[in-house]
Amino acid sequence: MRAVHAFWGPILQFIRICMGSVMNEQGHALVRKLAFWGIPFAIAVLCLKLLAWWFTGSVALLSDGLESTVNVVAAFIAYFVIRYAQKPADDDHQFGHHKAEYLSAVVEGVLIVVAALLIVKEAWGGLMAPSLPDAPVLGLAINAFAGILNFVWATVLIRVGRKQSSPALLADGHHIMSDVVTSGGVLVGLVLAIITGYAILDPILAIIVAINILFQGYKVITHSLGGLMDRAVEPEEDEIIKTAIAENSAGLLGVHDLKTRRAGSVAFIDFHVVVPSAMSVGAAHEICDRLEDAIREAVPGAVLAIHVEPESEQAHGVRVEFQEAGV
């Protein structure tokens, strides 16, 4: 009973997250649990795919299995990196350890590329001496079952990764989903090879699979490098921040120099507000508190830095981006 609860517990918590009932710290705990269970799951799927290859001798199924070895390595990396990234800020890392997740995603992208090259190597031998697979029905059934398991798990990882802004979990989910597409393509190609009798379709399909995996690796690497280079938040999130500022700007003369960057689950937001010169420090502070509360409600986990300026700044050519009436 405990084993059943341990397996389904993270899934049930994931459902609660989607319903908006899990607080931030609970969400972080769920990310760690999913990262941990990703390790035995990846090993189980790898074993299933290698079993399918052992029954059939198909180079396409072998290529699918080789790609799954990357899932195992990536699962280990993601688990330990996520634990590190969630550590609180310290004297050496005063803004936190959030960017570590991007390093995990970059490493996973590189591993995806390596897997694609291994697949090409195996497929080349199949092109030189093509042969039809043995025991095709059993092998295809096992591979299809592994693909279904991967689809369910990838869906969970992607949704939780987006909800909790976890680059490592999101990259792992997208990688596994590309594995699902790979498995589907392999199954279709093998069925065609068996029906038509053209054994060369098997290695040709393996090469097509490798090209798809290379593309996925490229996307994972470029997205993660953007995070390491302090890329701004996504346009949708940027609009949410601007709306929160505009709707809570009563008492301000203007807002300018809005800058954002995302580091894993944390969005860093920096902007300047212009207030009447006669406004007291206490009143300006209350406005800043109101803005911070509104933005943090709209963007959970946001870290803000608000600089207060007197109205004389507007006379010095400061570009005002927001007014009390709106954006």
Give per-residue pLDDT as tens, 284-304. Answer: 999 999 999 999 888 877 889
Please tell me whether residue 230 adopts helix, strand or coil conformation: coil
Architecture of domain 235-315: 2-Layer Sandwich (3.30)
Q: Output 275 or 183, whichever has higher pLDDT.
A: 275
- Pick from 133, 161, 168: nearest CA to 63: 133
> Looking at the domain 2-228, which fold is it?
Alpha-lytic protease prodomain-like (1.20.1510)
pTM attached to this predicted model: 0.62
Q: Is 235 exposed, middle or buried (0-12, 13-18, 19+ CB in 10 A)?
A: exposed
From-to residues of CATH 1.20.1510.10 in the chain? 2-228
Nearest to 291 by CA among 263, 313, 265, 322: 322
Give 305's strand partners: 270
Higher pLDDT, 98 or 277: 277
Note whether 74 and 174 are within 8 A (CB): no
Direct distance between the N- and C-terminal alpha carbons of the chain, in angstroms, rounded to an integer: 55
pLDDT digits (tens, 9 = 90+) for 216-264: 778 778 877 777 777 788 888 889 999 999 999 888 888 888 999 887 6
The better pLDDT of the pair 206, 32 is held by 32
CA dist 85 and 87 (Å) reads 6
**What are the residue ranges of CATH 3.30.70.1350 in the chain?**
235-315
